[in-house]
Amino acid sequence: MAAKLTDEQKRWLVAFLVRGGVLGYFALCLVLVGARALWWSGADLQPRQPIAFAHAVHAGELAMACTFCHPTADTSPQAGVAAVDRCMSCHRTVAVDRPEVQKLRGYAERREPIFWNRVHDLPDFIYFTHKRHLRAGIDCFACHGAVAKMTTARRVRPLQMGWCITCHRQFEGPTDCAACHH
Cα–Cα distance measured from residue 115 to residue 81, given in angstroms and rounded to the nearest whole number: 9
Residue 131 lies in a domain: yes
Residue 67 lies in a domain: yes
Q: Are 57 and 151 in contact (CB under 8 A)?
A: no
Residue 88 lies in a domain: no
Residue 30 lies in a domain: no
Which residues, 6 or more positions from 72, have their beta carbon under 8 angstroms from its beta carbon? 78, 79, 80
Count how many domains the chain has.
1
pLDDT confidence of residue 41: 53
The secondary structure of residue 43, as a DSSP letter, is T
Q: Are 66 and 150 in contact (CB under 8 A)?
A: no
Residue 3 lies in a domain: no
Domain holding 152, by residue range, is: 55-81+116-179
Residue 130 lies in a domain: yes
Residue 129 lies in a domain: yes
Residue 6 lies in a domain: no
Cα–Cα distance measured from residue 111 to residue 108, given in angstroms and rounded to the nearest whole number: 5
DSSP one-letter string for 48-113: --SS---HIIIIIIS---HHHHSTTTTTSSS-----HHHHHHHHTTSSTTSHHHHHHHHHHHHT--
> What is the reported pTM?
0.68
pLDDT confidence of residue 29: 79
pLDDT per residue, tens digit, the chain (182 aa), is 567 888 888 888 888 888 888 888 888 778 777 666 655 555 557 888 999 999 999 999 999 999 999 999 888 878 889 899 999 999 999 999 999 999 999 999 999 999 998 888 888 899 988 988 988 999 999 999 999 999 888 888 888 899 999 999 998 999 999 999 98
